Structure 1
Amino acid sequence: MTIVSRRTLLRGSLAAGLAGPALFAAESARAAGPIVKPLPPELFNVFGTNAETRWESLRGTGYHTPIDRFFVRNHTSTPLIDHRTWRLDVHGSGVRRPLRLSYADLRALPAREVSAFIECTGNGRSFFTSQQGQTVSGTAWKLGAVGVARWRGVPLSRVLGLAGVKREAVDVMPVGLDAEWVDGSVNRGHVRRPLPIAKALDDVLLAYEMNGEPLPPDHGFPVRVVVPSWIGIASIKWVGSIEVSSEPLSSPWDTNYYRLFGPSYPAEGSAPLTEQVVKSAFELPFPATVGAGPQQLTGRSWSGGGRIRRVEVTTDGTTWRRATPHGAAGRDGWLRWSVPWRPEPGTYQLRARAVDEHGHTQPEQTEFNRLGYLFDAVVRHPVTVV
C-alpha cells in the first residue's frame, strides 16, 4: 500500500478510468488538514478531524445524502492511498487459504448494491449535556453525524468464502490503513474492531463506490467496510487487512470504547455495542429562525432495529400529529417525512419521535453513559418565528 499525494492520486485514477467528482475534490481541497474535501460552513460544523452535516443542507436533496455533505468521522487524518498498489490481505486461524486481493481483483468479483446509513455512535452526544444536564466526553455532535448512501461493492461473505472460512471461525476483524491513533499518551494502533462471524457472513459489504462514484478519500477510498444498521465504528474505512480467527478477537474499539460505561453498568461496561438506536431530525438549522405563516416542516427518522413505521411531531409540546411519509422506509436507511405548520411569531421547541417496525421508539430521556453513546431521546429543537 502506498500513500500518495493528491496530484498523483488523481493522475493514477484518471489512467485507470476511476476519476469522478469525488476524486477531483481531493485536488481542490485545502493543502493540509485532517479532512480532504471542502467543508463550507453552510454544509458542515467542523470539530477538528470530524465534520458534522448541517441538517438544513439536506432539505430537498432526495433520499441519499450527497457526497459533498456526507459527514466525516476520522480518528486521525484522511490517508490518500494509491489503488494500484493497495492490497487486501485475508488471514488468520479461521481461514484455510490466506488471500491477497488487488483493487482490480475485488472489482472483478460479483458486486452488490445496498442503500444504508452510517452513523457515528456518539451522534446526538451534545444533548446529554444540553437537555439532560450530564457531562459526557467526546465530539459534541448534534444530529448530523449520519448519512445514507448507495454503496456498491463485494459481499464480505464472498471474499471470506474464497479464503475458505473454517467451521470453528468465530470473529472477523477488519483493520484500517489510516495512521495509528494515540489517545492521550497511549498508542491504540490502527482502527479495528471485530465482527461476529455470523454478522460478517450476513449483510456486510466491502464497498468501493458511493452514490455511483468511486469512494472519495474521506469516505474510505479505495475500499471500506459497510455494516448496515450497526454503529459507525464497525464500518472500517480504508480497510487493508481482515483477520479471521477461531478464537475471540478484541481491540480498544470494543473494550475501552464503544461500550456503555456509567453507574448503571458493570465496571467493564456493557457488552460491545452493535445496532444503532431510533432517532429523528428536522431539516432546520439548530437553532432555527423562520417566518410566520403556513409552511412545511420536513425531517427524517431512522433506526438500526428496523424500518420506521410511524413519526409524530409536536410544535406546542402537547399535541402530537402524525407526519406524512415521503417514499418508502428503508430497512437500513431512513424515512423522510413532513408536517404542515402555521406558526405565529414567538419561540417554540419542536419535537419529533419515531417508532420502528419492532416497536423501538424514542424515550423522553436517554440513560446516562460517560462516553455519550446512543442518544435516542426526543430532541427539543429550538425555533424562533418572526
Structure 2
Amino acid sequence: MTRQGLRMTMEGFSYRGPNRGVHALEKWRTDEEDLFLVTHMGFLEIDPEQWYLEIGGLVDRPIRLRLADIQAMPQREYMSFHECAGSPLAPQEPKRRVGNVVWKGVPLKEVLVLAGIAKEATYVWTSGLEWGEYAGLQNEIFQKDLPIHKAMADEVLLALEINGKPLSPDRGGPVRLVVPGWYGTNSVKWIGSIIAADCRAPGPYTTRFYNDTTPTGTKPVWAVVPESVIVGPDPAVSLQSGTATRIWGWAWGDEPIASAEVSVDGGSRWHAASVGPRQDRSWQQFEYFWTPTRGQHVLKCRCTNVQGEIQPLTPARNTVHDITVTVVDA
C-alpha cells in the first residue's frame, strides 16, 4: 500500500459473534462484545496521526481531511440496528448477525457539501484501506457506492464512536462509514476515500458480489428487508408445561415494522404479537404469551413492514426464524 501507518493485524475472512447467537441479544442496546465482527480480507490497524480522507471526483473542491478535521466538525448520535448481509457466496443463507447500537459521527453530507458535490453526481463511491485475498481475488479495493439521495441523508455518518466509545481498530476506526437501515456491507470500515461519480462503482464488491437476483433482473444489496428473530425462550433450556411462557424477540428493517406474528406449531397457525416502538432506525421488540403442553414445539416468528413487505418462508437471507423447544412436566 502507498499509505503510511497501516498494518494488517489479521489476514483473511474472519467472523466473531456471541456464543449463544441471537439468544445473547437480550438488551435493547447491544453491548459491543455481543455485536458481531466480520471482515472480508482481514483486520486493519491505522495510525490515527497518519490517517486522512480524500474526497474527489465530481466535486468543485477536492479536499483531504485529517482526523482532527473530522473531529472538529458538528457531530450527531444515531441509534440503528446493524446487520451483516451474510455471505455474498451464499446470499440465500440466513446468518442472523445483528445488533442494535448508537453511532456518533459527522453526517457524510457535511463533507460532501464542503467539497462542493457537482449536480452531475448520481453516486458516491466509498473505499476502505484494507487489502488481501477474498474469494480468489487479490488486493481488490473494498469499494461500495451509495445513490446520491442516500449519501445526503442526515443519518449517514462518518462514525467516530460506537455506544459512547471511540471506534476500535477492529470496528473500522478511527473513522468508518455507517449507513443506517442498509446492510453492513455498505458501511465501509477503515474508510480512506470518497469519490462523487455519475455511475455505480465498477469494482467486484458492487458488480460480482452483493447483488440479488429478482424476476426483473438484479438489485444491489442495499436497504434491509423485514426480519425478526426469537431471543427467548432459549432452546437450550427446557420449558415447563402449563406455565405461561413469554416468546419475544427483535424485528427490524429499513422501513418501520408494522406487525409481528408468532407460531407455536411450526407455522400451521400464526398469532399476532405486540410490537414496540423504534428510535431512529433501532430494532423493535415483539412479544407473545403462550402456555405450552408437554413435548417438542417448533416456534417461528415473522414480521411485516409499513410497506406491506413480509418475511418469506422460502430460502432468503431474511427467511422466517424458527427454534425448537422442549416442554417437560412441571
With normalisation by structure 1, the TM-score equals: 0.76
Work out whether residues 224 and 235 of structure 1, in 8 Å CA contact, stay in contact via their aligned partners in 2. yes
Structure 1 residue 68 corresponds to structure 2 residue 19: no
What amino acid does structure 1 have at the position aligned with 2:326? T
Residue 297 of structure 1: aligned partner: 247
| Whole-Å separation in 1 of the counterparts to 2:106 and 2:283 | 23
CA displacement at 1:277 relative to structure 2:
0.9
1:185-241 superposed Cα distances (whole Å, 9 cap, x missing partner): x32512111111221112321111111111122221111111111122111011011
Structure 1 residue 173 corresponds to structure 2 residue 121: no
| Whole-Å separation in 2 of the counterparts to 1:280 and 1:137 | 20
Residue 379 of structure 1: aligned partner: 321
Residue 369 of structure 1: aligned partner: none
| Whole-Å separation in 2 of the counterparts to 1:319 and 1:288 | 24
CA displacement at 1:139 relative to structure 2:
10
| Whole-Å separation in 2 of the counterparts to 1:330 and 1:85 | 36
Work out whether residues 235 and 325 of structure 2, in 8 Å CA contact, stay in contact via their aligned partners in 1. yes
Q: CA RMSD in A?
A: 2.5
Structure 1 residue 160 corresponds to structure 2 residue 112: yes
What amino acid does structure 2 have at the position aligned with 1:178? E
What amino acid does structure 2 have at the position aligned with 1:378? V
Aligned match for 1:115, one of 79, 89, 92: 79
| Whole-Å separation in 2 of the counterparts to 1:182 and 1:65 | 29
CA displacement at 1:247 relative to structure 2:
4.5
Residue 270 of structure 1: aligned partner: 218
CA displacement at 1:115 relative to structure 2:
0.9
In structure 2, stretches of 5+ residues that fail to align are: none
Work out whether residues 286 and 382 of structure 1, in 8 Å CA contact, stay in contact via their aligned partners in 2. no
Work out whether residues 181 and 191 of structure 1, in 8 Å CA contact, stay in contact via their aligned partners in 2. no
1:82-93 aligned at under 5 Å gives the runs 82-92=47-57
CA displacement at 1:74 relative to structure 2:
0.4
Paired residues, what number?
A: 319
What amino acid does structure 1 have at the position aligned with 2:288? V
1:211-230 aligned at under 5 Å gives the runs 211-230=163-182
1:122-201 aligned at under 5 Å gives the runs 122=86, 137=90, 142-143=95-96, 145-184=97-136, 186-187=137-138, 189-201=140-152
| Whole-Å separation in 1 of the counterparts to 2:128 and 2:80 | 20
| Whole-Å separation in 2 of the counterparts to 1:303 and 1:271 | 17
> Structure 1 or 2: larger helix share?
1
What amino acid does structure 2 have at the position aligned with 1:254? T
CA displacement at 1:140 relative to structure 2:
6.0
1:44-83 aligned at under 5 Å gives the runs 49-53=14-18, 54-59=21-26, 61=27, 63-83=28-48
| Whole-Å separation in 2 of the counterparts to 1:52 and 1:239 | 23
The DSSP-based 3-state class of the residue aligned with 1:218 is helix
> Structure 1 or 2: larger strand share?
2
Structure 1 residue 344 corresponds to structure 2 residue 293: yes
| Whole-Å separation in 1 of the counterparts to 2:115 and 2:308 | 39
CA displacement at 1:319 relative to structure 2:
3.8
| Whole-Å separation in 2 of the counterparts to 1:381 and 1:356 | 22
Work out whether residues 41 and 133 of structure 2, in 8 Å CA contact, stay in contact via their aligned partners in 1. yes
Aligned match for 2:196, one of 238, 244, 248: 244
What amino acid does structure 2 have at the position aligned with 1:385? V
1:263-311 superposed Cα distances (whole Å, 9 cap, x missing partner): x657xx603232111111011487544221333222000112x111211
CA displacement at 1:141 relative to structure 2:
5.1
The DSSP-based 3-state class of the residue aligned with 1:79 is strand
With normalisation by structure 2, the TM-score equals: 0.88
Shift in CA distance, 277/193, structure 1 to aligned 2, threshold 3 Å: same
